[in-house]
Amino acid sequence: MRIGNGFDVHAFEAGDHVTLGGVRIPFDKGFRAHSDGDVLLHAITDALLGAAGLGDIGRHFPDTDAAYADIDSRVLLRDVVVRLSDKGLSCISVDATVIAERPKLGIHIDNMVQRIAADLGMPLDRVNVKATTSETLGFCGREEGIAAMASVLLEETQD
Ligand code: MG
């Protein structure tokens, strides 16, 4: 077994939607980011890389590389799943938390879980996504951006 954790933040800028857990959510702001800014998928991707001893998301997908401009973060996640598989590792548990004052995320959680589970090739009941506010405190509370954290468990696949 190998455990990994991930954390990510993106600031808001002018826009009309945010993408979280691969779900496009209409909103009165957008993410300032090189990619689609999906903090939830970035936190999970970093947790997977960490558990596998493969560094971090910035090392594999540098934001200075035009190839990743506005990229769908699900593509990056699926790419990392292949890298794990190449090392004989598979993910057996994901738990993640999104910290956002707005938009309200409750109705979108099931859709996020479905997308994450599909990308990871995992059953739905082994992927958990939670949403919380920070009680109006700090940058999330002031609605300057959104943060996410994730924990994952990997196991070595049997030969
Ligand atoms: Mg990020």
- Report pLDDT for 159: 62
- CA 158 / ligand 1 centre spacing (Å): 32
Q: Angle at the Cα of 79 (from 77 to 85), degrees rounded to 5?
A: 105
- Report pLDDT for 152: 98
How sure is the predictor about 86, in pLDDT bands with cuts at 50, 70 and 90?
Answer: very high
- For the segment 94-119, the average pLDDT, to the nearest whole number, is 98
- Domain extent for 105: 2-156
- CA 156 / ligand 1 centre spacing (Å): 27
CATH code at position 12: 3.30.1330.50
- CA 117 / ligand 1 centre spacing (Å): 20
- For the segment 128-139, the average pLDDT, to the nearest whole number, is 96
Number of domains comprising the chain: 1
Q: What is the pLDDT of residues 31-55, one digit of tens each?
A: 999 899 999 999 999 999 999 999 9
- Report pLDDT for 63: 85
DSSP element (H, E) containing 112: helix 109-120
- CA 159 / ligand 1 centre spacing (Å): 34
* DSSP 8-class letter at 157: P
